[in-house]
Amino acid sequence: MPKPSHLAVLGVGKEVTPGTAVAPTKWVPYKTLTPKDDVNLIEDTGQRGAPVDVYGLYPGQKGAELDLGGDVFADTIGWMLASVLPDLVTTGSSAPYSHVFSTLCTGDTQPTPQTWTIFDPLNTWQYAGAQFSELGFKWNADGLFEWSAKAQTWPYATTTSPTPSFTSVAPVANWNITNQIAGVATFVQDGELTIKRNMTAIRGSAGTQNPYRIWTGDISVEGKLSLVMETTAQRTAFQAGTVQAFDCIYTQGAAATTNGLTLHCSQVAYTEGTPSYGKEYIELPVSFKAISNTSDVGASAGYSPIKATLQNAIASGIYK
């Protein structure tokens, strides 16, 4: 009998030891969820006097990948931000707390590994050692503010059934988002911003099929905006290679229930900016790349291409 996919739930917890699975401390609403198990079979191709290519298949080293996404909730999105921007500073003595995420430029520069748990009608699958290689945000005129992400993990392990519980924070309607270019409120029809990290699963001969560590490298930030071309200012900025600041901002609630997210890049430059005449008004689709700078840094200083500020009721020490 088929098993209903809508009963599957997704949880996350931060690890103490990389690759050692932990129980979920938060359950994350999702829209897309695709785990991919990497088995890496080893072929025996030693010739044995026959016109064939493979004489045996043997288990090699293992791992997994997660492709997931959903709507932005001001409490759960912090786990994804902490995995790509691990310099985290939390302030506030009570809700709302402010969490500032940036590039970690000291120590080993690595995020705290996470365990992602999928609990479905068949079993409870734990993907330990998770590190995110990509976290993207999308917004437009309709619907809800969305995120998507990709992660690498250790191979899954199964465990006992947990008891899920979900956030009471509301998602974010896209109309509530404001955008600024060079500090000036700017009408944006739709936008994207993606944070990426280079990633390598370090493998070797150590008596285990698991990776030694999933290691993250350089951070980059890119984005796209669809602008209504009311003036020539942004096309001129593209032609001149002008560096500007960019902000994607939302806030909702009041007092202790205030929550919100600001994605701030102090320096972005357009890599594309050609007008479009396909509609009854002139559009200017632009693509941009963020430049690492010393303004968007956190406690570890150095350089960072972005600073993300999250407000919610989550206290210090939860995300990292």
Task: Give the tens place of pLDDT for each residue, 3-16.
Answer: 999 999 999 999 99
CA Rg value for the chain: 22
CA distance 287 to 291: 13
CA distance 26 to 40: 32
- Mean of the pLDDT values across residues 56-66? 95
Who's near 90: CB < 8 A, 6+ residues apart? 97, 98, 99, 100, 315, 316, 317
308 CA to centre of own chain:
12
| Number of residues assigned to the chain | 320
Task: Please provide the distance, in angstroms rounded to a whole number, between the alpha carbons at the two ends of the chain.
Answer: 41
pLDDT band of 87, cuts 50, 70, 90? very high
Question: Model confidence over 141-162: pLDDT tens digits?
Answer: 899 999 999 999 999 999 999 9
177 CA to centre of own chain:
19
Q: Across the chain, what does the average pLDDT equal?
A: 96
Q: By percentage, how much of the chain surpasses pLDDT 90?
A: 99
CA distance 252 to 310: 12
- DSSP helix/strand/coil, 82: helix
pLDDT band of 1, cuts 50, 70, 90? confident
Q: List residues bridging with 179 in a β-sheet.
A: 248
- Mean of the pLDDT values across residues 184-207? 95
Lowest pLDDT segment from 136-140, 165-169, 190-194: 165-169
50 CA to centre of own chain:
50
Tell me, what's the pLDDT at 91?
A: 97
154 CA to centre of own chain:
18
Tell me, what's the pLDDT at 245?
A: 98
Neighbours of 313 (CB within 10 A): 18
Give the start-to-end residue ranges of the domains of the chain: 5-36+59-312
Q: Is the peptide bond preceding residue 111 cis, with omega within 30 degrees of 0?
A: no
Who's near 192: CB < 8 A, 6+ residues apart? 136, 137, 138, 223, 224, 225
Question: Model confidence over 270-306: pLDDT tens digits?
Answer: 999 999 999 999 999 999 999 999 999 999 999 999 9
CB 68 within 8 A of CB 148: yes
Q: Counting Cβ atoms within 10 Å, is residue 291 exposed (0-12), middle (13-18) or buried (19+)?
A: middle
Does 21 score more than 90 pLDDT? yes
- Mean of the pLDDT values across residues 197-224? 94
pLDDT band of 139, cuts 50, 70, 90? very high
pLDDT band of 79, cuts 50, 70, 90? very high
- Mean of the pLDDT values across residues 204-231? 95
Neighbours of 244 (CB within 10 A): 19
- Mean of the pLDDT values across residues 225-254? 97
CA 309, 310, 313, 317 torsion-angle sign: negative
Question: Does the predicted TM-score (pTM) go above 0.85?
Answer: yes
